[in-house]
Amino acid sequence: MRICHVITRLIIGGAQENTVLTCRGLAERGHDVTLIAGEETGPEGSLWDKAEEAGCELIRLPAMGRAVSPVQDLLARRELRRTFRRLRPDVVHTHSSKAGIVGRSAARAANVPVIVHTIHGMSFNRTQPRLVRGMYRFLERRAASYTTHFVAVADAMIEQAVAAGIAPRERFSTIRSGIETERFQPNIELRAEHRRAWGVADDEVVVGTIARLFENKGYDEILAAMPLAAARLQRLRFVWIGDGAHRPRYEAELRTIGLRQRTHLLGLVQPEQIPSLLNGLDVLVHASRWEGLPRAVVQALLMQVPAVSFDNDGAPEVVIHGETGLLVRYDDVAGLADAIVQLAMDPSLRKRLGECGRTRCLSMFDWRTMVQELHRLYNRLMDQPRR
């Protein structure tokens, strides 16, 4: 098959890693794969180098940007339509909100037989003003009218999309976001090495977070919970992995609450460094306000690090309360602190939850399984009568 994947930008992030791995896997299966993305990057880092190693054709689309811009968006649609007419793909598969709207419209105009869209996270969510939510819901419903099928990384995304009237349930499939699970191997020596580098004693408990230092990633809630937990347990230390535009503000807040010296900010790291760094953690905290499926939690569980998470979106499909971590009611800061302290004070509980999490994630989130399921889906959609 000729397959085109379209995504807004190739920053270091879950949707982007998912897309690059998908293109790599499909190319390895012998398909003619093209990956199209905007040139925009940022403090989150870039995955263009990984895309160049994926074995597919790459097309940079300067007009495709994250921010809404009617002129640039129309230019991006025009360029995509021309590209699709030139390549004549059997399948166009879009990712992320902007590329999903613009890319599906261009694919329809180019008469692409099969148009697929992956929901990594809903484009409209609880953090947006009502008018913005309504606009995105309208655009998603319109794009759905010429979408052959939807892929969701979590069952929760299907429930939300169906409830919003995007499309009937039979046009959705859940395909879990794939991870290179073979890279995630717990290592005692690396654990000791990282903790020494962070100045962490053997009896101290490291609570980590992996996320961009940006709004809606849960840092405001984490910053509110940290002093509550640290006051009850002096052995707590914190490690943040990631960078972003809000780093100065968060660092100032850490100084205000008196925890800057107990928090190690690692900044931007490359994706291949994550498995090694996770060895040094005892608990992962995930407090994102909205997200399809928390990929960082899956990565932590693969390294036998249990998680504390709010119970929103796809998080409960990974953090099984009492089995792989502890779930807290969304926006319950005191509950977040309680869960952190509970895990920090009980090493046997951490060990049990971490081992269960690794077993579960090894079977559910291998990237080869994701590619195989997408391959089967494409074949099935190609065999269906065209609408």
Q: What is the pLDDT of residues 218-227, one digit of tens each?
A: 999 999 999 9
Task: Give the pair of three-digit tokens for residue 253.
Answer: 């807040």
Contact (CB, 8 A) for 308 and 244: no
Contact (CB, 8 A) for 5 and 93: yes
Q: Is the pLDDT of residue 100 over 70?
A: yes
Q: Is the pLDDT of residue 126 over 80?
A: no
Q: Which residue has the tokens 């579960």?
A: 360
Dihedral over Cα of 6, 56, 4, 167: its sign: negative
Contact (CB, 8 A) for 91 and 3: yes
In the predicted model, what is the mean pLDDT of residues 233-237? 96
Q: Give dist(CA 306, CA 350) in Å, integer.
A: 6
CATH architecture type of domain 2-178+366-383: 3-Layer(aba) Sandwich (3.40)
* Residue 45 region by backbone torsions, left for phi larger than 0, else alpha for psi between -120 and 50, else beta: left
- Give whole-number Cα distances, 197 to 193, 271, 360, in Å: 6, 19, 31
Q: What is the pLDDT of residue 386?
A: 60
Q: Give dist(CA 342, CA 285) in Å, integer.
A: 13
181-364 maps to which CATH number? 3.40.50.2000
Q: At what angle do helices 219-232 and 333-344 cross, to 10 degrees?
A: 50
Task: Give the pair of three-digit tokens for residue 243.
Answer: 């960078």
Contact (CB, 8 A) for 157 and 292: yes
In the predicted model, what is the mean pLDDT of residues 77-94? 97
Of the CA atoms within 13 Å of residue 83, those in its CB half-sphere come to 25
Strands (E), the chain: 2-9, 32-38, 57-61, 91-95, 114-119, 149-152, 172-174, 205-210, 236-241, 263-267, 283-286, 307-310, 325-328
Tell me the backbone φ, ψ of residue 99, rounded to 5 degrees. Answer: -65, -30
Fold agreement (2-178+366-383, 181-364)? yes
Residues 6+ apart with CB under 8 A from 368: 25, 178
Q: What is the pLDDT of residue 244?
A: 86
Task: Identify the helix (H) or strand (E) that includes residue 385.
Answer: none
Residue-averaged pLDDT of the chain:
93
Q: Give dist(CA 364, CA 381) in Å, integer.
A: 23
Q: What is the pLDDT of residue 167?
A: 95
The pTM score is: 0.90
In the predicted model, what is the mean pLDDT of residues 238-247? 93
Please state, for a pLDDT cut of 90, what percent of the chain lies above it.
83
pLDDT band at 46 (very low <50, low <70, confident <90, very high): confident
Domain extents in the chain: 2-178+366-383, 181-364
Q: Is the pLDDT of residue 239 over 80?
A: yes
The count of other CB atoms within 10 Å of the CB of residue 278 is: 27
